Amino acid sequence: MQIGCHLSSSKGYLEMGKCAVSIGATTFAFFTRNPRGGTAKEIKKDDVEAYLKYAEEHNIKKIVAHAPYTLNLCSADANVRRFANRILIDDLKRMEYTPNQYYNFHPGSHGKQGTEIGIEQISEALNSALKPEQTTTVLLETMAGKGTEVGRNFEELRAIIDRVELKDKIGVCFDTCHVWDGGYDIVNNLDGVLENFDKIIGLKYLCAVHLNDSMNPLDSHKDRHHKIGQGYIGLESIIRIINHESLRNLPFILETPNELDGYAAEISLLRSNYKI
């Protein structure tokens, strides 16, 4: 089972790898730069090399990097959009230091522009950033539908993918808190939700899972993550999620409100409930 959590990137790749292993993780996520955007730390070649060797020895196959929260490819403000485009391009360059990994981002918030314009702007930005030679897969995250978020349902993600030229460079990250808050009943009808995902987007695009409980009921559009088993999704449903045949081999990233010891406990709880 590939499971891990968000880690601090302040000490570099090798330290993230070691931290992951220390809490029983075999994958992890990190912000490519400060979650609020801004400049990124320089990547050190020897750190990356040491990390890649360490990852191989410790069975870490995929990392799921996360773009800063402020990255908004469909902002109503053209300056914000330009800034986001630049960050996307720069982050994708940086991702190539660790080949064949995932880079996840929030599609964006369209402001008052409307979903259709938002979808156009996001896909245009992707078309100018994605390169045939890149090894990174860029993941669109399923969103809770807070405010004017794009990606509030499977159809909106499909509409973006439809417009992306290099479709083999794109995938989806399924955030359990977000889809639940977005109105998909993964508690009572997980099979149905995933069938719907397959019909609208296609399971071949499903690359990673953000595994979170939710502080709010179905369809609340709130996006407040809870610890595993303590929210409205509940442990029983989360155990069904990690064992589901369409999800069980994907990397699971915890984004629950925890410190490292809390993550270690959740990882061991989930491992002990993963059917081999």
Size of the site for Zn ion (CB under 5 A): 1
Residues within window 244-273 making contact with Fe ion, judged by CB under 5 A: 255
Instruction: Please say which residue, 24 or 35, places its beta carbon nearer to Zn ion.
Output: 35
C-alpha span between 92 and 207 (Å, rounded): 17
Q: How far is the CB of 127 from Fe ion (least distance, A)?
A: 22
Which amino acid belongs to residue 225? H
Cα Rg of the chain (Å, integer):
18
Q: How far is the CB of 223 from Zn ion (least distance, A)?
A: 5
Bridge partners, residue 211, by sequence: 254
Return the one option of Fe ion, Zn ion, none that residue 226 interacts with (CB less than 5 to 8 A, by type): none
For Fe ion, the binding residue among 149, 156, 175, 181 (CB under 5 A) is 175
C-alpha span between 14 and 82 (Å, rounded): 32
Q: Is 259 left (phi over 0), alpha (psi -120 to 50) or beta?
A: beta
Which residue among 91, 156, 213, 223 is the active-site one?
223
Interface pattern 127-166 for Fe ion (x via CB under 5 A):
--------------x-------------------------
Judged by CB under 5 A, which stretch of 37-45, 167-175, 229-237, 265-273 contacts Fe ion? 167-175
Structure token pair of residue 75? 């902002």
Binding of residue 223 to Zn ion (CB under 5 A): yes
Binding of residue 210 to Fe ion (CB under 5 A): yes
C-alpha span between 78 and 80 (Å, rounded): 5
Instruction: Please say which residue, 14 or 136, places its beta carbon nearer to Fe ion.
Output: 136
Alpha helices in 65-164 (DSSP H): 78-95, 115-129, 154-163
Size of the site for Fe ion (CB under 5 A): 4
Cα pseudo-dihedral 45, 50, 51, 57, rounded to 10:
150
Q: List active site positions.
A: 36, 66, 69, 106, 141, 175, 178, 210, 223, 225, 255
Binding site for Zn ion (CB under 5 A): 223
